[in-house]
A and B are shown apart, each in its own frame.
Chain A
């Protein structure tokens, strides 16, 4: 059974770069899409980015210039970097598996438990 685990600093200073990693266990990272979603305190879900195991990426246009998602297939993990953070980037960050074929979308079917990131000096 595939499991995802987010890791990274829980506190980031304003203007610095947020860096998170999602480790995939119980299955291979190959042949799937992988995504980051965040949720500010008391608010709804916001998609951040996704990546295919081969390296194809897509980003939320509202964050595009600040976000980088990457994958390491040899170590079975993928990562998120968000630069120039402000208090508005404070959120729970979830990683998830995105199942998508050219003809069908099967949803975000496996999620990590989430990691809280606070932006504060």
Chain B
């Protein structure tokens, strides 16, 4: 199980966003990804391997963590960054699990 916190983060453009994803048991950081989803759109891959940015993702997005605790940081929020963010793990014997999501909203 992946637990994301907070459920909602209210911030202003230019501020730093820190999103947490906690796993119920230790997982390999190689199998942890983050996605951004805007209303009416499909999710977009931001981070894989806990810290590697996907193609075309701006460097204001960064991922970190290991074991059971992982973090997505958005260094300076741009207007287009207000969205819902999901962490996700992949375990070959168990399949794919998503966290419940964190909504980043404009304060």
Show the binding face of A for B, using Cβ within 8 Å. 35, 37, 44-47, 50, 58-61, 94, 96, 98, 100, 103-109, 111-114
The answer, yes or no, to whether B8 is at the interface (CB within 8 Å) is no
Is the CB–CB distance between B101 and A44 below 8 Å? yes
- The minimal Cβ–Cβ distance linking A26 to chain B, given in whole angstroms, is 15
- The minimal Cβ–Cβ distance linking A95 to chain B, given in whole angstroms, is 9
A35–B48 CA distance with the chains assembled, in angstroms: 17
Is the CB–CB distance between B43 and A45 below 8 Å? yes
Show the binding face of B for A, using Cβ within 8 Å. 30-31, 33, 35, 37, 41-45, 47-49, 54-55, 86, 88, 90, 92, 95-101
- The minimal Cβ–Cβ distance linking A31 to chain B, given in whole angstroms, is 17
CB closest chain-B residue, reference A94: B42
A35–B99 CA distance with the chains assembled, in angstroms: 17
Is the CB–CB distance between B45 and A109 below 8 Å? yes
Is the CB–CB distance between A47 and B98 below 8 Å? yes
Given contacts A50-B95, A50-B96, contact A108 B45 (CB under 8 A): yes
A112–B42 CA distance with the chains assembled, in angstroms: 7
Is the CB–CB distance between B95 and A105 below 8 Å? no
Is the CB–CB distance between B86 and A59 below 8 Å? no
Enumerate chain A residues within 8 angstroms of B43, measured Cβ to Cβ: 37, 45, 94, 108, 111
A46–B98 CA distance with the chains assembled, in angstroms: 7
CB closest chain-B residue, reference A47: B96
Partner of B42, one of A35, A100, A113: A113
- The minimal Cβ–Cβ distance linking A2 to chain B, given in whole angstroms, is 12
The 7 closest A-B CB pairs, nearest first, are: A47-B96, A107-B48, A111-B42, A107-B33, A45-B98, A105-B31, A107-B45
